[in-house]
Amino acid sequence: MNKKVKTKELFDCQTPYLVELFEECEYPWEMLPKIKGYMQKLIENGLEGFTEIADDVWVGENVKIHPSAVIEAPAIIGHNTEIRPSAFLRGNVITGSGCVIGNSSELKNCVLLNTVQVPHYNYVGDSVLGNFAHMGAGSICSNLKSDGKPVVIHGDTEIETGIRKIGGILGDKADIGCGCVINPGTVIGKGTSVYPLTSLRGVLPEGCIVKSLSDNELLKYNDKVRDYLL
């Protein structure tokens, strides 16, 4: 089973101010230590159509921010994005257009492409979420292993990242059900849909339906149903 983990295999980045970041990183987790510096470069060069509402906090056109939301710098919020009550952006957050950051959701050091939804009680740390990715209520990206060691990506081969904090890598149109836990370094392929209350780890191929069955996951892929051990 082909477990795609490269940036170009997971994302179609059409957000102009993010294209360079996606093109220079062969693997998406390589973006994570670069986010802050990349954002500072964008801010220094100027963001057309964006307005600075606080020091190093830039928002695009038609952005809605609830008064109870907290946004720490640096942050770049794309056009037509909505930030709902009690959302907490802890810095190094950059989004594309049309995103929803929902009530009591917490984000830090992450990249969201266009039309991403993290609408209810989500935690997204040290993660990359693709176009139209959706996280159901209460689903979280766990970004630190219990032993504190660097994250290893368990794909077709083992990839040593050398990075201690990696949350979830969600390909375009990945759909995560309510109450799911995305364990550190989990990669979810394009268009894969995950049922609620599932604990995810490893690399999930694109175009799958994932259901929790204890330690095994039942996958439906190209109309075939098979047991798949994560």
Give Cβ neighbours of residue 202 (< 8 Å, ≥ 6 apart): 3, 154, 155, 186, 187, 230
Pick the catalytic residue: 79, 120, 134, 154? 120
- The question of whether 154 is a catalytic residue gets the answer no
Q: How far is the C-alpha of 52 from the C-alpha of 58, rounded, in Å? A: 4
Query: For every residue of the chain, which 3-state class applies, written as one string?
Result: CCCCCCHHHHCCCCCHHHHHHHHHCCCHHHHHHHHHHHHHHHHHHCCCCCEEEECCEEECCCCEECCCCEECCCEEECCCCEECCCCEECCCEEECCCCEEEECCEEECEEECCCCEEEECCEEECCEECCCCEECCCCEECCECCCCCCCEEECCCEEECCCCECCEEECCCCEECCCCEECCCEEECCCCEECCCCEECCEECCCCEEEEECCEEEEEECCEEEEEEC
Cis peptide before 74 (omega within 30 of 0): yes
Q: Which residues are catalytic?
A: 120
